Amino acid sequence: MQRQINSINGIDWLTVILYALMVLMGWLNIYATVADEQNAGVFSLSQRYGKQLVWIVTAIGLAVLVCLLDPRFYSSFAYPVYVFCMFVLIAVLVVGKEVNGARSWFDIGSVRLQPSEFAKVAVSLALAKYLGNYSGKLMQFKNLILVGIIIFLPPVFIILQPDTGSSLVYLAFLIVLYREGLPQEILLFGLLTVVLFILSLLMQNVQAYLAGGLILLGFTVYYLKSRQIKNVLKGLGVFMLIFSILFTVNFLAEIGFDIHEILLGAALTASVIFVAYSIVRRLPNIRTIILFILCALVFTFSVDFVFTKMLGSHQQKRIQVMLGIESDPLGIEYNVDQSKIAIGSGGLTGKGYLQGTQVRGKFIPEQSTDFIFCTIGEEWGFAGTAVTVILFIVLLLRLVYIAERQRSVFGRVYSYCVVSILFFHYAINIGMTIDLVPVIGIPLPFFSYGGSSLWAFTVLLFIMLRLDASRNEYIR
């Protein structure tokens, strides 16, 4: 009993207040989105604002429940919860209800639940549990593999639904891993991968330029590290020689390769020679650089394959539209256009509550769920959107602060999971409504209509607050 009172006192009330503000703002905007002139009462369960009210009340109940449980429960039951969640994700593929082409939902009476939302909580608990037990040894091979499985097993099931948007959220766990010791190079490599992916789609003959550019970069890096100008000049000579030979042969024999292909061929041939040379002369620096170059080249070649074979046509389209390769005003671009028009027309102070013409005209698809930010933007203007963004920034920074004051690795890892998930959801959701990132259908935490996401985010957040409240106790 004593402990529970301590727990309640230990709850981070600033976070609770921010949470409450966001949920309230979310509901007001859902009301504005759905309400029309012949609407029923505020509590009408036939309307989304009425239903959301029920979700909010039950979410508060859940939050209280989460806070009442012993913090050790979350640690102890992390794996069983994770396993249960995986079963549910498999079950939904079999017996789930198909909505908009994705089998992501369970119909339980009049309530519809989306297990992929709750899977984030399970992954966070399991990840915290695992890293808490093997503290500080993340970079061991076995640990990395297991962490990878814990994080990326759910998105595999979710992609199968198929719901790519929800599965992309799991990339956010990279932030947690970064905090827990993942080398920066790997994250940079990941970032470079994304840049290369986009470049490969945007540019013709990107491999040739890339090969040439990377070889020069490689020489530069090698020189900076070894200070051996002789080897650099030798290498450049070899590269130029191969290029000249290939060029001449191609020209004289009229084989018909174009200059890009010759450049690429020369780069590849030179690379092989350099690798052989580095092995013979025991120069590990060169080896690393060359291997990196070869990986990049292979990757750009594989982009086409990945893009056309592994992504669904609507995902291809979204990426193409986003990159400006294709125009599709009534398809994907229509959503983004309507969204930008709604937000952009809000001006500095907005059109006034319940006065949004675009919102009332239902021009934006999914405007009470994934595009709820449009309502804020149109009716409250920049004032409203800025307040929203700032609320999220404050919340996230507060959560980082809380995460860092945890004494247990379990608590810290779990807290960073919460930070990562919320950060990813908020940044991508708002980014897609204003055409900064491709449209992937994920909700804005605490704002968007929907019971599953509100429940999941509430549970996710309040477990963290519960752990924080008793951070002085030892939990593992």
Partner 1 sequence: MILDTRRYVIGACIILVGLALLGRLFYLQVIDNSYKRSADNISQRPVTQYPARGLIFDRHGQQLVNNQAAYDLMVIPRNIQPFDTVELAGILGMSVGEIKETVGKLKQGRGKNYASYRPVLFLKQMSAETYAVLQERLYKYPGFFVHARTLRRYVHPIASHLLGYVAEVDSLDIKEDRYYRTGDYIGKSGVERFYETELRGKKGVNVYLVDVRNSIVGSFRGGELDTMSVVGSDLTLTVDAGLQEYAEHLMSKFIGAVVAIEPSTGEILAMVSAPDYDPSLLVGRVRSENFRKLENDPSKPLFDRSVMASYPPGSTFKVAQGLVALQQGSLTPDTYYGCAGGYHVGRFHMGCHHHPSPLNLVQAIGNSCNSYFANVFRNIVDNRQTGAARENYLQWRKYIMSFGFGKKLGIDLPQERIGNVPSAEYYDRKYFPTPASWKSLTLVSLSIGQGEMGSTVVQMANFASLIANGGYYYTPHLLKKINGRDTVPAQYAQRRYTEVDTSWFQFVREGMYLAVTGGTARGVAIAGIEMCGKTGTAQNPHGEDNSTFMAYAPRENPRIAVAVYIENAGFGATWAAPVASLMIEKYLTGKTNRPWLEDRMLNFNRYDNRAAAN
Residues contributing to the site for partner 1 (CB under 8 A): 36-37, 175, 178-181, 329-330, 340-348, 355, 357-358, 360-363, 377-378, 381-382, 385-386, 389-390, 392-393, 396-397, 400, 403-404, 416, 419, 423, 427, 430-431, 434, 436
Which residue in 297, 277, 298 sits closest to 286, CA to CA?
277
Angle at 195 between CA 302 and CA 316, to 5 degrees: 60
Cβ at position 373, least distance to partner 1 in Å? 10
Sheet holding 97-99, edge to edge: 97-99, 102-108, 111-113
Query: At 111, phi and psi to the nearest 5?
Result: -100, 140
Cβ at position 372, least distance to partner 1 in Å? 15
Kindly tell me which of 37 and 254 has the beta carbon lying closer to partner 1.
37
Kindly tell me which of 80 and 344 has the beta carbon lying closer to partner 1.
344
Contact criterion met (CB below 8 Å) for 323 and 198: yes
Structure tokens at 287: 């080896």
Kindly tell me which of 175 and 264 has the beta carbon lying closer to partner 1.
175
Kindly tell me which of 231 and 367 has the beta carbon lying closer to partner 1.
367
State whether the Cα torsion 312-318-324-330 is positive or negative.
Answer: positive
State whether the Cα torsion 416-420-421-426 is positive or negative.
Answer: positive
Cβ at position 347, least distance to partner 1 in Å? 6
With 0-12 / 13-18 / 19 or more C-beta atoms within 10 angstroms meaning exposed / middle / buried, residue 404 is: exposed
Kindly tell me which of 15 and 385 has the beta carbon lying closer to partner 1.
385
Kindly tell me which of 163 and 333 has the beta carbon lying closer to partner 1.
333
Letter for the amino acid at 95? V
Kindly tell me which of 72 and 179 has the beta carbon lying closer to partner 1.
179
Kindly tell me which of 97 and 340 has the beta carbon lying closer to partner 1.
340
Q: How far is CA 239 from CA 147, 216, 277, in A?
A: 42, 10, 13
Kindly tell me which of 213 and 431 has the beta carbon lying closer to partner 1.
431
Q: How many CA atoms lie within 13 A of 255 on its CB side?
A: 13
3-state SS class at 85:
helix
Cβ at position 401, least distance to partner 1 in Å? 9
Kindly tell me which of 187 and 201 has the beta carbon lying closer to partner 1.
187
For residue 52, the Cα-to-chain-centroid distance in whole angstroms is 26
Cβ at position 357, least distance to partner 1 in Å? 4
For residue 218, the Cα-to-chain-centroid distance in whole angstroms is 31
Exposure string (b/e) for 192-215, b if CB count within 10 Å is 16 or more?
eeeebbeebbeeeebbbebbbebb
Kindly tell me which of 103 and 398 has the beta carbon lying closer to partner 1.
398
Kindly tell me which of 36 and 258 has the beta carbon lying closer to partner 1.
36
Cβ at position 157, least distance to partner 1 in Å? 28
Cβ at position 392, least distance to partner 1 in Å? 7
Counting every residue written for the chain, the total comes to 476
Q: What is the dihedral of CA 180, 184, 189, 191, to 10 degrees?
A: 80
Cβ at position 386, least distance to partner 1 in Å? 6
For residue 382, the Cα-to-chain-centroid distance in whole angstroms is 25
Cβ at position 111, least distance to partner 1 in Å? 29
Q: Where are the alpha helices (DSSP H) in 41-77?
A: 48-68, 71-76
Q: Where are the alpha helices (DSSP H) in 96-228?
A: 115-133, 141-160, 164-168, 173-179, 184-202, 206-226
Cβ at position 18, least distance to partner 1 in Å? 14
Fill in the DSSP letter of residue 171.
G
Instruction: Give the residues across from 17 on adjacent strands.
Output: none
Contact criterion met (CB below 8 Å) for 104 and 116: yes
For 9, residues 6+ apart whose C-beta sits below 8 A from its C-beta are 469
Cβ at position 448, least distance to partner 1 in Å? 17
Cβ at position 241, least distance to partner 1 in Å? 44
